[in-house]
Amino acid sequence: MLSQEEIWDAGAAQRYDTPGTGMFAPEVLGPTVDRLAALAGDGRALEFAIGTGRVAVPLAERGVPVTGIELSRPMVAKLRTKVDEATIPVLIGDMTTTVAPGPYTLVYLVFNTIANLYNQAEQVECFRNAARHLVPGGRFVIELWVPELRKLPPGQPATVFHAEPGYLGLDTYDVLNQHVVSHHFEFGEGTEARLFRSPHRYIWPAELDLMAQLAGFELESRHADWSGAEFTAESRSHVSVYRLPR
């Protein structure tokens, strides 16, 4: 299996940003930044897996001091084309062990990235690392998709999670080990297609809550999106806010 450094290489960093569309669309970023700014309050924010600064840059522009931790040097290099080190400091390292100068009122981890940690023990350590950065009463926010196992007929290991002209997204599941590989196919008018794959360990919301408890957090809220829609059995993702006791 490829390491995260190998997956998030220079090519992936170059393709990651899609200004104005997809994850970078105003209707996606706007509510995300609004909610995070409100949760940070007058304090500082730390982003685990800051990437190219999709969220951190507009959050810093809102006046929230942001620091990042990121494993991929090419992703940070892309971030540096937008802002300098003084504006958004970034530490190169793993989000389970790397410690940034703090403390912070908010640590956040967006767009399913906790699932990049490929086993349960590392995911628990991610919570513990968030806790060690936070002030009493500080919050850890996670955005994560809900595994779509209900879509899997017996004997079928894959689901299509998105399809549009020029793009097909396919997830293949190993339900015994809670592993999933996301396959992103991009194609044009011809017969050739480009494939990007990334492995993940999926987490059920109840399991996520137990990880939080092990690190000393309590669940404060869970919504279906950044705008605060109700989380239901049909929700495909969630934004969960965990809080340390004061």
CA–CA dist 163, 222 (Å, integer): 28
Burial status of residue 220 (CB atoms within 10 A of its CB: 0-12, 13-18, 19 or more): middle
Report the CATH number at residue 115: 3.40.50.150
Total number of domains constituting the chain: 2
Strand 237-243 and strand 218-223: the pairing is antiparallel
- Residues 67-92 pLDDT 10s: 999 999 999 999 999 999 999 999 99
pLDDT of residue 10: 66
Question: For 112, phi and psi rounded to 5 degrees?
Answer: 70, 10
Domain-ending residue, one of 165, 180, 198: 198
13 with 122, same domain? yes
163 with 120, same domain? no
Kindly state the helix (H) or strand (E) to which residue 142 belongs, with its residue range.
strand 134-145
- Residues 25-52 pLDDT 10s: 889 899 999 999 999 999 999 999 999 9
- Residues 109-153 pLDDT 10s: 999 999 999 999 999 999 999 999 999 999 999 999 999 888 888
182 with 220, same domain? no
pLDDT at 59 over 80: yes
168 with 72, same domain? no
Range of the domain at 191: 149-198
The pLDDT > 70 percentage for the chain reads 95
